[in-house]
Amino acid sequence: MKKILGIYLLFAFSLHSVVAIAQTASTSLAGNYLPQVLATSPAHRDSLMEMIKGKPGLPFWVRALVRQPRYVALASEEVTVKDKRMQLFRACEPYKCEKSFIRVLFSEDGKRALLYISDATLGIKIFGDPTPEELTFLAR
């Protein structure tokens, strides 16, 4: 009986460790890709789309971020702004990355989005009313 109890405890501990590792990995704000996050997280998608909806002067590929994800996206980076974890994404128009790119900064829960657009033709546009600290991450 002691042997069975020992095996059960070892199994339970191992299972708990695997679950803890999986939970830790899933809460990482780094290493994610914007198209996947927008496709799977209503909070991220809604906060970003609400911010750009009906705004004039956006590059066509930015308007289509959710509908037609035809852009180059880099893995997200976790940043800390005034002791708050945030997720920073970078993306650009294919073959024109130096001429048309965006940076999107999301709150940890995805309910708040900030957007920095730099386009050679349309200029620089900032959405979401970032704080000066948030703007340093968006504009770098």
Q: Which residues contact 124 (CB under 8 A, 6 or more apart)?
A: 116, 117, 118
Give tens-digit pLDDT for 1-14: 545 444 443 444 44
Q: What is the pLDDT of residue 21?
A: 39
More confident residue, 105 or 20: 105
Give dist(CA 127, CA 48) in Å, integer: 10
Give the pair of three-digit tokens for residue 19.
Answer: 């679950």
Give tens-digit pLDDT for 40-96: 999 999 999 999 999 988 999 999 988 888 999 999 999 999 999 999 999 999 999
Exposure string for 55-76, b = 16+ CB within 10 A, e = fewer: eeebbebbeebbeebebebeeb
Amino acid identity of residue 91, one-letter, is A
Q: Is the pLDDT of residue 140 over 90?
A: no
What DSSP assignment string belongs to 72-91?
A: EEPPPEEEEETTEEEEEEEE
Give the pair of three-digit tokens for residue 78.
Answer: 């976790």
Q: What is the pLDDT of residue 69?
A: 87
Q: What is the pLDDT of residue 6?
A: 42
CA dihedral sign of residues 129, 89, 42, 61: positive
